[in-house]
Amino acid sequence: MKLPDIQSSSPEEKIPIDKVGIKNLRYPIKVLDKSKGFQSTIAELNLYVDLPSEFKGTHMSRFIEVLNEFKDEIHVKNIKNILDRLKEKLNARSAHIEIFFPYFIEKKAPVTKAAGLMEYQVFLKAAVFKRKRDLVLGVKVPIMTLCPCSKSISKYGAHNQRGVATVTVRFKKFVWIEDLINLVETCASSPLYPILKRPDEKFVTEQAYENPKFVEDVAREIAARLLKFPEITWFYIEVENFESIHWHNAYACLEIKKTKSFYSSSSSISISR
């Protein structure tokens, strides 16, 4: 039985489209884990290709077929192969993949060493444009900050809050997720922990009090540390505090490109979700 291929027919408006594909697909993946080799998780994926002006639509099922071909081999070191296969399967000039997933690290409390799993949000975005390629790695790290202004003007105490630092990087050599997370946490007033007993809570509270930070301080310190990583060529930092005594959030961001590259061109992928 021969069925019509409507997608391959000619559209009424012959205008090329930059990205067509599928979004918000949940799929099991394996992620490189520094201490354990691999970590299994559930990701949310977006996959796109370009669509020439002569075709009405893309073939959605082919995106799933490509993912099924790779199955347990969906990780940062294999993204190039996935993109090349997308281009081949859909006869496209460009291909894009965006992967968002939770990543878990066992973390011990600072005093009692009580261990628990800490969740971090991680994303990978990659694209191939003809012969040019782009790949970014991003982490969202929950942090704690204590307000320097509040500490300086108060007779006792100072207000603190949780925040999130989002760091996105481009790199020449492989960068571990764990290393990025650790770098960010050391720039806050205090890291967060999955388990805190009373001795730990006392330690964290006093540590933050002795280490007050504005969002600006955190952003600058992260940048200063990233500048010392020769494998990182570009980074974008966002720090947002969920203020405890203000009816607004505090925010800071900065972007630094360390070397000239294709990735600064207008055809590179977006860093926002």
Mean pLDDT by groups of 10 residues along the chain of 273 residues: 68 82 93 88 94 75 91 80 92 94 96 97 93 93 95 91 96 92 96 96 95 96 95 96 91 86 43 46
Give me the phi and psi of 192, to 5 degrees please. Answer: -100, 155
Give pairs for 261-268: CB < 8 Å, separation 24+: 261/170, 261/233, 261/234, 262/132, 262/134, 263/134, 263/170, 263/233, 263/234, 264/234, 267/129, 267/132, 268/127, 268/134
Task: Determine the pLDDT at residue 78.
Answer: 85
**C-alpha triplet 198, 194, 150: angle, nearest 5°:** 65
| CATH node for 17-261 | 3.10.270.10
Global confidence as pTM: 0.86
Domain ranges of the chain: 17-261
Task: Determine the pLDDT at residue 97.
Answer: 96
